[in-house]
Chain A
């Protein structure tokens, strides 16, 4: 089983991100659980979404304290929050890069800082980096295929918005692939 913890602020689309990832791995005949935890239950307040991926049905319903992977949708959460808490040895973190905020170096973990909001601004015309982050996640972890994510995004957002988000997924994927080289 692989466990992913997403850090965001309420209203930034972390639940959709988690659901899209679940949908994509489901298309690969795997099981997924995706669920949110709201802290203050207010727009803008820090919140988490969680995803578990496995080859068999998943029963564990607790939150995720020792994730294999972390996705940070809003880099301002790096200030004052330990978003890396519990990250497993050899874990991977994907951070939505933001000017002026530097991700720390984490021992035994790989961190990718991806300008996902810039990618989204260019492609979608709005700085919503979630789908680009998912593409980056696929490239960094290999847990899900690019085409499954693209299909999930097209299913979730019908019409032009779906196509553009699929483009954003691909751009996020390529950003990490480039860095890996």
Chain B
């Protein structure tokens, strides 16, 4: 049923419908209403779940690691510095192949202290072995969480999923959301049946020493599984569409790209603004489109290649930068054209860091700069 609801509370309600047995979070800054909402839901007896308040995000991640290892569906949410404090544990969760879903409310990283939105937090941990999916709207954010449990708990995958949603722009945004019923979610999402778990009757060890003789193979196994994730994500999105009647998620979304000479590429809520600019320019006869990247990890090489190969110019618009180099999505997309006969001119732009507003005008500024000899990592909207 449709309702008008704030992004964070909408996600809390969705997580309730996914019925995690353990929720753990560090309850103060940087945190969102997501876990506040869930704490209330659990306290009100609407969800039978162990809500564990901890003293840091490192502990929050450790608690959900333990819960998943013990065979319980678990959930946590964090943001910014909190995600970075989890980093060590994030690598462990992926390395131990534990199914988990985490929401990252995307916010900038200190210093200087900044609570506002950009993608530097999740982008910084993109190499951890987590699947990373970025939402454009609150609706998509909700839908992706349901899909995430399906993906992470698939016995052929066993990799954790991070749903990345723009801090403030989505987490604090009131929006019309079609909220599924418990019955619909139950039908789509079977109860968690772990492939293996910690069990005193059948003892196993997890996260043991991997010496030089086998460590590399564990990384290779994750790398190979990521290929299976690329196949599974569109399948789950397709099943979701059949079950809920709307398309959400997938690897990428093409918006007016088929005949486009120029294509903008971006992740997250920024894509909505880009679509509006594209529509404005289309009415003036400009052949332009947007490619939304939903899955940044695994990186959907083939889907992106297919969408971009016929374009003359591509502008990658990112809310993060690998300082001293380029935006990570720019690097990834440049790499995928290596050795290909067809390649557009690929330009890179950095925008909206630390909550700097992304306006239609700033997007047009980007489009004007895209060219054969265009920039690789141009900061847009600097006040110098």
The verdict on A60 contacting B276 (CB below 8 Å), with A35-B169, A41-B115 known, is yes
State how many angstroms separate the Cβ of A119 from the closest Cβ of chain B: 25
Is the Cβ of B173 less than 8 Å from the Cβ of A32? no
Q: Does A79 contact B (CB under 8 A)?
A: no
Number of B interface residues in the complex (CB < 8 A): 24
Across-interface contacts of A160 in B (CB, < 8 A) = none
> Which of A2-61 touch B at CB < 8 Å?
15, 18-19, 22-23, 26, 31-38, 41, 57-61
Q: Does B168 contact A (CB under 8 A)?
A: yes
- Chain A window 45-84, contacts with chain B (Cβ cutoff 8 Å), 1 for yes, 0 for no: 0000000000001111111010000000000000000000
Is the Cβ of A61 less than 8 Å from the Cβ of B6? no
The verdict on A33 contacting B174 (CB below 8 Å), with A60-B360, A62-B360 known, is yes
For A18, A22, A59, the residue with the greatest tally of chain B CB atoms inside 10 Å of its CB is A59
State how many angstroms separate the Cβ of A40 from the closest Cβ of chain B: 10
Across-interface contacts of A57 in B (CB, < 8 A) = 137, 176
Is the Cβ of A59 less than 8 Å from the Cβ of B175? no
Is the Cβ of B273 less than 8 Å from the Cβ of A19? no
For A33, A37, A58, A62, the residue with the greatest tally of chain B CB atoms inside 10 Å of its CB is A62
Across-interface contacts of B332 in A (CB, < 8 A) = none
Q: How far is the CA of A62 from the CA of B6 in the complex (A)?
A: 17
Q: How far is the CA of A4 from the CA of B269 in the complex (A)?
A: 20
For B173, B269, B275, B359, the residue with the greatest tally of chain A CB atoms inside 10 Å of its CB is B173
Which of B4, B173, B358 has a CB less than 8 Å from the CB of A62? B358
The verdict on A22 contacting B174 (CB below 8 Å), with A59-B275, A60-B272 known, is yes
State how many angstroms separate the Cβ of B143 from the closest Cβ of chain A: 14
The verdict on A34 contacting B357 (CB below 8 Å), with A60-B276, A61-B270 known, is no
Is the Cβ of B273 less than 8 Å from the Cβ of A59? yes
Across-interface contacts of B175 in A (CB, < 8 A) = 32-34
Q: How far is the CA of A19 from the CA of B360 in the complex (A)?
A: 24
Which of B168, B176, B357, B359 has a CB less than 8 Å from the CB of A32? B176
Is the Cβ of B176 less than 8 Å from the Cβ of A31? yes
State how many angstroms separate the Cβ of A45 from the closest Cβ of chain B: 13
- Chain A interface secondary structure, helix, strand, loop or mixed? mixed
Q: Does B172 contact A (CB under 8 A)?
A: yes
State how many angstroms separate the Cβ of A31 from the closest Cβ of chain B: 5
State how many angstroms separate the Cβ of A13 from the closest Cβ of chain B: 14
Q: How far is the CA of A35 from the CA of B272 in the complex (A)?
A: 15
The verdict on A18 contacting B174 (CB below 8 Å), with A26-B4, A35-B169 known, is yes
Question: CB-nearest residue of chain A relative to B358?
Answer: A62
Is the Cβ of A60 less than 8 Å from the Cβ of B273? yes
Across-interface contacts of B272 in A (CB, < 8 A) = 58-61
Which of A22, A35, A65 has a CB less than 8 Å from the CB of B168? A35
Across-interface contacts of B166 in A (CB, < 8 A) = 61
> Which of B5-33 touch A at CB < 8 Å?
6
Is the Cβ of B176 less than 8 Å from the Cβ of A36? no
State how many angstroms separate the Cβ of B153 from the closest Cβ of chain A: 31
> Which of B145-185 touch A at CB < 8 Å?
166, 168-169, 172-176
The verdict on A19 contacting B276 (CB below 8 Å), with A36-B168, A63-B357 known, is no
Across-interface contacts of B6 in A (CB, < 8 A) = 19
Question: CB-nearest residue of chain A relative to B115?
Answer: A41
Across-interface contacts of B174 in A (CB, < 8 A) = 18-19, 22-23, 32-35
Q: How far is the CA of A19 from the CA of B269 in the complex (A)?
A: 19
Is the Cβ of B172 less than 8 Å from the Cβ of A15? yes
Across-interface contacts of A22 in B (CB, < 8 A) = 4, 174
Q: How far is the CA of A33 from the CA of B136 in the complex (A)?
A: 13
State how many angstroms separate the Cβ of A62 from the closest Cβ of chain B: 4
Q: How far is the CA of A41 from the CA of B174 in the complex (A)?
A: 19
Q: How far is the CA of A32 from the CA of B177 in the complex (A)?
A: 11
> Which of B220-245 touch A at CB < 8 Å?
none
State how many angstroms separate the Cβ of A160 from the closest Cβ of chain B: 22
Across-interface contacts of A63 in B (CB, < 8 A) = 357, 359
Across-interface contacts of A35 in B (CB, < 8 A) = 168-169, 172-174
- Chain B window 255-296, contacts with chain A (Cβ cutoff 8 Å), 1 for yes, 0 for no: 000000000000001101101100000000000000000000
14 CB < 8 A contacts A-B: A33-B173, A34-B174, A36-B168, A36-B172, A37-B357, A38-B168, A57-B176, A59-B275, A60-B273, A61-B270, A61-B273, A62-B357, A63-B359, A65-B359
> Which A residues contact B (CB, under 8 angstroms)?
15, 18-19, 22-23, 26, 31-38, 41, 57-63, 65
Instruction: Sort A-B residue pairs by CB-CB distance and give the 7 closest, nearest first.
Output: A59-B272, A34-B174, A26-B4, A35-B173, A22-B174, A62-B359, A19-B174
Extra 9 A-B pairs, beta carbons < 8 Å, given A23-B4, A23-B174: A26-B3, A33-B175, A34-B173, A35-B172, A59-B276, A60-B273, A60-B360, A61-B269, A61-B273
